[in-house]
């Protein structure tokens, strides 16, 4: 068993030199224990004796792909205790399988690339969420101090970024593992620090928080996306995040206020309020689907309708016409409504997603199912339509529409045929989308499902009394 001690947990050069010597000597990966200055890096071999690796023997060396070195530089910064052992295992395999680094299906490659991705993400988070606070020095000058808690050993690798970006400032970055200090000319390292060593705030923060609150737009709030990009663990180091909770809490109230204000300003005319909402939706860019689509396809029907239908998204013909349910699925929907005894002119019809999502195939545009992010981005419009129309019964045509209304994934077979109370008032019923009926190849099965669909529409209409 061979033991190798590296001076620091992110010491790539020392690992590379040691690994080169061990590989040239033919030492198997399971015969090496990797240590760093702060302990054993290989969690499963803590009892191995310390023994320096032999120098590379004389003779021809060996080369590795550049991609391996790039990968290794990132992985060495990972906090994974077995990172050095994994990299050395890959190095040994590359000697006999030089193109292994290109095999994305290999378990080891996937593992290492996953570690590298985590490291790169941590580097990005440090650059995005680190906040300096001004501290007065004894000589009357100012120093800017920041506290950050990285998940990986990325502080030294990030030093050049902050030196280049804040070259004219005197600053210190404090982390639990190591501290960096820049005096305008020289970068030095210091020991790790604690949160108590960093300042709590400065007068500039109040100005920044006021500005941040003023530009917060509730109509563009995407809480899930925000938390994905800015996890809560970073909030304690960022002054503006002290406001986020109350801003999120007030977002829905502010949205409702927009609708109420619109009604008030136009003398209580709901039709005019709906028209204003529709015009606003025509310029919607809440997700990327507006780019390839021809236009926004908004809902239509009486704004005081007691019955509302929500589909998935516009199709090819709807995208061109600017109206919902006018293509083949819309024609089947109209026929089913008539058989259920429902006059379409008395109901409000819309879609959960307002732009046509498609894949081009030659001259044709083939429907593509909206994903969760696209559905959630469009929920704001559905909520505003519902707030204006205030239907007693809302029918979700398909799983996408159900998810839009209920905010969760829905299995149609399990929840079909039962009333579901909506937070905004009224009730929801779930059935299939008429396009589903068009795709059934078996004629008898298609007729059976169509009859069931008509019955669902009849049941929903009957709930109006």
- The structural domains of the chain, ordered by start, are 2-124 (no CATH), 130-197 (no CATH), 203-263 (no CATH), 268-462 (3.40.470.10)
**Better pLDDT: 265 or 167:** 167
* CA 193/CA 360 separation, integer angstroms: 56
Neighbouring CB atoms inside 10 A of 207's CB total 9
Q: What is the pLDDT of residue 228?
A: 60
Which of 279, 268, 355 has its CA nearest to residue 315? Answer: 355
* CA 360/CA 100 separation, integer angstroms: 35
DSSP-based three-state secondary structure for 281 = helix
Q: What is the mean pLDDT of the segment spanning 251-266? A: 56
Structure confidence by residue, pLDDT tens digits, 4-60? 999 999 999 999 999 999 998 999 999 999 998 754 444 444 444 554 444 444 445
Question: pLDDT-based confidence at 285, cuts 50/70/90?
Answer: confident
Q: What is the mean pLDDT of the segment spanning 314-329? A: 95
Residue 272: is its pLDDT beyond 70? yes
Secondary structure element (H or E) that encloses residue 394, with its range: strand 393-397
Q: What is the pLDDT of residue 128?
A: 85
Task: Spell out a b/e string for 415-444, using b for 16 or more CB atoms within 10 Å of the CB, else e.
Answer: bbeeeeeeeeebbbbbbbbbbbbeeeeeee
Q: What is the mean pLDDT of the chain?
A: 85
Q: What is the mean pLDDT of the segment spanning 143-172? A: 92
Question: pLDDT-based confidence at 273, cuts 50/70/90?
Answer: confident
Q: What is the pLDDT of residue 211?
A: 43
Q: What is the pLDDT of residue 45?
A: 42
Structure confidence by residue, pLDDT tens digits, 367-389? 999 998 899 889 989 999 998 99
Which residues are 3's β-sheet partners?
33, 51
DSSP-based three-state secondary structure for 352 = coil
Which two three-digit tokens encode residue 106? 């290999």
Say which DSSP state 441 is in.
-
**Better pLDDT: 271 or 345:** 345
Structure confidence by residue, pLDDT tens digits, 130-156? 888 888 877 778 888 888 999 999 999
Q: What is the pLDDT of residue 43?
A: 40
Question: Helix, strand, coil: what percent of the chain each, to 5?
Answer: 50, 15, 35
Q: Where are the beta strands (DSSP E) in 119-177?
A: 132-136, 142-147, 171-174
Structure confidence by residue, pLDDT tens digits, 100-128? 999 989 999 999 999 999 999 999 999 98
Integer angstrom CA distances of residue 166 from 127, 175, 181 = 12, 18, 12
Q: What is the mean pLDDT of the segment spanning 314-335? A: 96
Which residues are 173's β-sheet partners?
146, 180
* CA 115/CA 137 separation, integer angstroms: 40
């Amino acid at each position: 068993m061979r033991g190798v001690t590296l001076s620091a947990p992110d010491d790539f050069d020392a690992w590379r030199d040691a690994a080169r010597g061990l590989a040239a000597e033919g030492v198997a990966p399971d015969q090496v224990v990797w240590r760093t200055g702060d302990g054993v890096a290989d969690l499963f071999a803590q009892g191995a004796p310390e023994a320096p690796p032999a120098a590379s023997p004389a003779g021809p060396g060996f080369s590795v792909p550049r991609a391996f070195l790039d990968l290794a530089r990132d992985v060495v910064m990972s906090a994974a205790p077995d990172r050095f052992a994994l990299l050395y295992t890959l190095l040994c395999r590359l000697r006999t399988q030089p193109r292994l680094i290109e095999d994305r299906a290999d378990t080891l490659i996937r593992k290492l690339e996953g570690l590298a991705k985590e490291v790169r993400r941590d580097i990005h988070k440090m650059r995005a969420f680190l906040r300096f606070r001004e501290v007065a020095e004894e000589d009357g000058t100012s120093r800017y101090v920041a506290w950050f808690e990285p998940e990986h050993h990325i502080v030294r690798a990030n030093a050049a970024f902050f030196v280049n970006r804040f070259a004219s400032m005197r600053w210190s970055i404090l982390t639990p593992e190591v501290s960096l200090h820049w005096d305008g000319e020289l970068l030095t390292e210091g020991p790790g620090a604690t949160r108590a060593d960093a300042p709590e705030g400065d007068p500039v923060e109040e100005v920044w928080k006021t500005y941040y609150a003023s530009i917060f737009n509730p109509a563009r709030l995407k809480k899930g996306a925000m938390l994905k990009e800015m996890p809560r663990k970073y909030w304690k180091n960022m002054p503006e995040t002290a406001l986020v909770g109350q801003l999120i809490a007030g977002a829905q109230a502010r949205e409702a206020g927009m609708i109420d204000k619109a009604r008030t300003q136009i003398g209580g005319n709901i039709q005019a309020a709906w028209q204003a909402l529709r015009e606003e939706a025509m310029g919607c860019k809440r997700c990327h689907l507006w780019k390839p689509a021809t236009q926004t396809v908004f809902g239509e029907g009486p704004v005081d309708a007691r019955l509302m239908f929500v589909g998935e998204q516009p199709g090819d013909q709807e995208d061109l016409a600017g109206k919902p349910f006018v293509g083949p699925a819309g024609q089947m929907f109209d026929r089913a409504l008539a058989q259920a005894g429902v006059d379409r002119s008395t109901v409000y019809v819309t879609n959960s997603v307002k732009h046509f999502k498609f894949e081009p195939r030659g001259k044709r545009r083939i429907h593509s199912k909206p994903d969760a992010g696209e559905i959630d981005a469009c929920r704001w419009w559905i909520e505003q339509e519902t707030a204006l129309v205030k239907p007693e019964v809302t029918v979700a045509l398909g799983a996408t529409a159900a998810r839009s209304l209920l905010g969760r994934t829905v299995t149609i077979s399990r929840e079909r045929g039962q009333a579901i109370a909506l937070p905004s008032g009224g009730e929801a019923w779930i059935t299939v989308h008429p396009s589903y009926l068009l795709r059934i190849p078996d004629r008898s099965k298609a007729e059976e499902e169509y009859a069931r669909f008509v019955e669902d529409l009849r049941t929903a209409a009957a709930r109006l009394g």
